[in-house]
Amino acid sequence: MSIQDHFEIDKDGVLVKYHGEGSEVVIPKSIRIIGKEAFENCKSITSVKLPDSVTKIDYYAFCNCENLESIEFGKKLELIMDSAFEGCKRLESVAILSSVKEIGYRAFCDCFRLKYIAFSENSICKYICGGAFKNCVLLNNIILPESIEYIGKECFEGCASLEKADIPLKCRIVEERAFSICLFLTQVMIPDGVGKIGSYAFAGCPSIAHITIPDSVLEIGTGAFTHCKALLNMIIPDKTKTVGEMVFGDCISMTDVVIGYSVQAIKERAFYNCSSLNNVELGKSIREISDEAFSSCTKLQKIDIPAGVIRIGKKAFSGCVNLTTVKIPDSVRVIGSDACNELVDKTTKIKTAFEIVQMTGEKDMLIRLLDPKLTKRKDFIIPSVESVFDDPFYDCKKLTIRCSAGSFAEEFARVHNRYQYELI
């Protein structure tokens, strides 16, 4: 069998299947397309050279060629399709020539030894699809060309060695998990023009200390920066309207947060376990502080809740053991269970206990806290409360509720019949 016989080629110039056993493969010049699965699972090949005639590498073309170490593209290659080189575990470098327009879904996923990806300076590539370089654990540097308009979901997820990520100027979205679990990522540049940072986009990047959110960002998705344990501070721009759940959860080094005036809700567990957080500035448009929003922020001592907030969710400040001052405006109508269940006396650092809750009218609530040594009393006025979810005073065993006959407070006390109550 001649070398030419190793290549099964159809009448349209598509390489349908490679039947050879050689390690160094030179593709014939008559081929225009490397067909689907043409080399899939070929264990023998170590290098491949494509002629300038090849314009497309189709789905799974070289998938799981686990001994492939090098690939040389031709000058007219335009499309690298989905999973084309997925699982090529020994591939170390790739040069993307200027003719390439698109890199497909998981095209180089699980190329564990891939260290270098070089784009031509005059690249016209617009799209890098989801998971394209996922789990390329040795990839430590990539300069994306300014032609890139889209970086897909999970594109660089698990690129543990990647140190720098500059999002190209034409990108409008940083997609879901695009750079998550990049363990050594320290520098991130998000350009003005990006409108959305997707869910978990930078989750689990423990080396990022600083990141600037541009004014153009309108939405920050769920968990976008969760487990960024070196992140020190964050300013959310005034134009940002939506900030997702758990967005900064477990950012244990974060000390300062400023939230712009367009954000309307602090979502569930948004700052959960930000154990170094001690300065929070909330925007004037906030209407809701959701369940466990600041739970376990153990260094937080003071927070001013802006006028306009209607609801404070369940366990919103649970575990904030150093929180001594909470300013609650007249606008608040709902306070969830255990919203502030671990307030601490500022001087003695001894956990206080609720002793009296007095309803000063049908809706106004006065909470008085006494520390166990009865040396200091703290009063908290929560006006205009219309409903209390579940039991915000759970485990307050000494609690007596004083309230007016027929008031919401009397109904609450009767429903939660473990409490004593007195009519005033």
In which region does residue 162 sit, left (phi positive, over 0), alpha (psi from -120 to 50) or beta (all else)? beta
pLDDT score recorded for residue 335: 73
pLDDT by residue (tens digit) across 167-208? 999 999 999 999 999 999 999 999 999 999 999 999 999 999
- Choose the weakest-confidence range: 162-166, 183-187, 375-379: 375-379
User: What pLDDT digit, counting tens, does each position of 305-335 carry?
Assistant: 898 988 888 888 888 888 877 777 777 777 7
* Neighbour count for residue 2 (Cβ, 10 Å): 5
Is 236's pLDDT higher than 60?
yes
> pTM to 2 decimals?
0.81
Q: 96 phi and psi, to 5 degrees?
A: -90, 110
**Domains defined for the chain, CATH in brackets:** 1-162 (3.80.10.10), 173-285 (3.80.10.10)
Q: What is the pLDDT of residues 32-60, one digit of tens each?
A: 999 999 999 999 999 999 999 999 999 99
pLDDT band at 351 (very low <50, low <70, confident <90, very high): very low
Residue 372: what pLDDT?
41
Q: Counting Cβ atoms within 10 Å, is residue 166 exposed (0-12), middle (13-18) or buried (19+)?
A: middle
- pLDDT the model gives residue 132: 98
pLDDT bracket for residue 245 (50, 70, 90): very high
| Nearest-angstrom CA–CA distance, 79 and 92 | 20
Q: Which amino acid is at 213?
A: I
